[in-house]
Amino acid sequence: MKLEFNTKKIEQIKADVEISFVSEKNIKKITKAKELFTLYNFKGDGTIFDAQNKILYVSIKEIDYESIRLAFFTALKTINKLNIKTAKSPCIIYDCVVKSFVAMAEGAIFSSYDFNKYKSEKKETKLDKLIISSTEINDKNFSANEAKIGIQRGEILAKTCSFVKDIVNEIPQTYTPLKMAQDAQNLAKKDKKIICKIYDEKFLEKEKMNAFLAVNRASIHPPRLIHLSYKSKNAKQRIVFVGKGLTYDSGGLSLKPADYMLTMKYDKSGGAAVLGIIKAISELDLDIEAHGIIGATENMIGGNAYKPDDVLISREGVSIEVRNTDAEGRLVLADCLSYAQDLKPDIIIDLATLTGACVVGLGEYTSGIMGNNEKLQNDFYEASKSSGEYTTVLHFNPHLRELVKSNIADISNTSSSRYGGAITAGIFLDKFIRSEFKDKWLHLDIAGPAYVEKSWSYHSFGASAAGLRMCMSFIFSLLRHKK
Ligand code: BES
Ligand code: ZN
Ligand code: ZN
């Protein structure tokens, strides 16, 4: 589906169907539908289709970015089922014009995402084009240029979300670390501004990435360290993203129970988001230097598997007591964060489906932000708010730090307490952050929202591309402040 902004008013545009948004404020203004609304007892809930006049009425409760996304998503979800080729709609502005158009574009594009590769019968949508007119539902004024920037940005972000979702939704049988490396290489092949380097197990051995290698040992698929980079000529900041790319997490010898193992193909969500972030940064030509480091491996069982009781010497030289092989993400990240710090980043952000505890603590909708720099955490939180992703800051404290101490090594890969598991995992990672980068690092635990088991708002079943939009929003805010 194509998205287009048209400076004409909605009445002057030709299309098969018109979308009309109904809010508490404008319901009385929509006089031509008065009878219809009375007939259906419509008080601004859901949708009504006036088949005779080809108008789809869609309710919007509040005016904010999330409601705009949901309204466009709902409208297009309904229209996608119709046998029509073009639709037109007014626009809805809340606060920032660009962000509002980003929200409209995202909502519209999210409506047509479907992972149907393994279905014999594919749902097909007939809609070719949505034209967003300059008619604003509350008669607000704005410039066409801002509208166009917003739509273009929203289109790139939403399409990159689909790219990320396809990776995460892909099955573990085919989506191996080698496949992830191939996808990274393809990004660089298609876009000359992106450089991709792939490192194999020999490199990991040479680099003494023993924690990463231990996790991979029982897998028949070799591991890969993926390094993507993009550098704008006017880059003022170097930002490094690090992603957990567990193409499958069985738990290893500390095997997951069957019910918990199911869905663990989505343990590559952090890595997939990092691929998407670099792709989006390049497509948007942002004035920044960005790197994406992904540790891609499976966590499997076998005679060769690493064991609870093992001690691993990580790339940073920190020794790790393995007490649970299911706490594998932090081991892979420990070595990847070490490699990432050699790039001397101004900001370093890791993304990972790291703990079940984060899902228990925050619910399925919210990601945890951790780190040592309160201002950086708060800035990230503020930036994420308008992105459509929920986040919250989780603070470290000295008592929780005590819990990852080991009797025989520098640190244990699990906490000695049942409580506070999301934060103790963050504290574990902190052990691998050198003092000069302590204040430059953020850890994002996206375990909750990365995979949708029960659809909510504009999120359908499966991968959600968690992490991508909030990180992009943070980069936009960085660039605004660096001007
Ligand atoms: N990949 C899981 C975390 C996870 C759990 C993500 C549920 C999404 C949904 C991670 O590797 C893991 O298994 N963590 C353990 C850590 C524990 C053994 C200390 C967990 O959270 O149970
Ligand atoms: Zn695990
Ligand atoms: Zn995992």
Series of mean pLDDT values for 10-residue runs along the chain (483 residues)? 96 98 88 89 86 95 96 97 96 97 98 95 90 96 97 98 98 98 98 98 98 98 98 96 99 98 98 99 98 99 98 98 98 99 98 98 98 98 97 98 98 98 98 98 99 96 98 97 73
Q: Is residue 223 part of a domain?
A: yes
| pTM of the complete model | 0.97
- Is the residue at 155 inside a domain? no
**Relative to the CA of 354, which ligand 1 atom is closest?**
3
Note the pLDDT of residue 25: 83
According to the model, what pLDDT value does residue 442 have? 99
- Note the pLDDT of residue 483: 60
Spatial distance between the Cα atoms of 368 and 393, rounded to a whole number of angstroms: 6
Give the domain extent around 443.
160-482
- Positions annotated as catalytic residues are 256, 330
- The ligand minimizing its distance to the Cα of 450 is 1
148 located within any domain:
no
Q: Given CA atoms 50, 55, 61, 67 in this order, what sign does their dihedral have?
A: positive
DSSP 220: S
Q: Give the Cα separation of 89 and 15 in Å (integer).
A: 10
379 domain residue, yes or no: yes
CA dist 28 and 31 (Å) reads: 6
As for ligand 1, residues whose beta carbon falls within 6 Å of it are 249, 267, 324, 326-329, 353-357, 359, 414, 421, 447
Q: Which residues line ion ligand 2, judged by CB < 5 Å?
A: 249, 326, 328
Both tokens assigned to 71: 């309204």
Domain shared by 411 and 447, yes or no? yes
Which helix or strand (DSSP H or E) is residue 412 part of? strand 411-412
Give the atom of ligand 1 at the shortest distance from the alpha carbon of 353.
6
- Domain assignment present for residue 151? The answer is no
Report the amino acid identity of residue 71: A
**Residue minimizing CA distance to atom 7 of ligand 1:** 356
- Residue from 216, 326, 358, 367 to probe ligand 1 pocket by mutation (most atoms less than 8 Å from CB): 326
DSSP of 142-173, one letter per residue? --HHHHHHHHHHHHHHHHHHHHHHHHHHS-TT
Contact 403, 420 (CB under 8 A): yes
Residue nearest to atom 16 of ligand 1 (CA): 327
301, 218 Cβ separation under 8 angstroms: yes
d(CA 223, CA 220): 9
Residues 90, 165 within the same domain: no
Looking at the structure of the chain, the number of domains it has is 2
Q: How far apart are CA 469 and CA 103, in angstroms?
A: 11
Query: Quick check: is 149 in a domain?
Result: no
Q: What is the DSSP letter of 442?
A: E
Rounded Cα distance between 175 and 170, Å, is 6
CA of 310 to the centre of ligand 3 (A): 18
Separation of CA 405 and ligand 2 centre (Å) = 20
Looking at the structure, tell me whether residues 96 and 185 fall in a common domain.
no
State the angle between helix axes of 144-169 and 269-283 in degrees (0 to 180), rounded to the nearest 10: 150
- 32 with 128, same domain? yes
Which of 265, 355, 414 is the pocket-test mutation for ligand 1 (most atoms within 8 Å of CB)?
355
On whether residue 44 sits in a domain, the answer given is yes
State how far the Cα of 388 lies from the Cα of 153, in Å rounded to an integer.
14
Nearest CA to ligand 1 atom 3: 355
Q: Which atom number of ligand 1 is nearest to the Cα of residue 299?
A: 11
What's the gap in Å between 278 CA and the centre of ligand 3?
Answer: 23
| Any domain includes 305 | yes
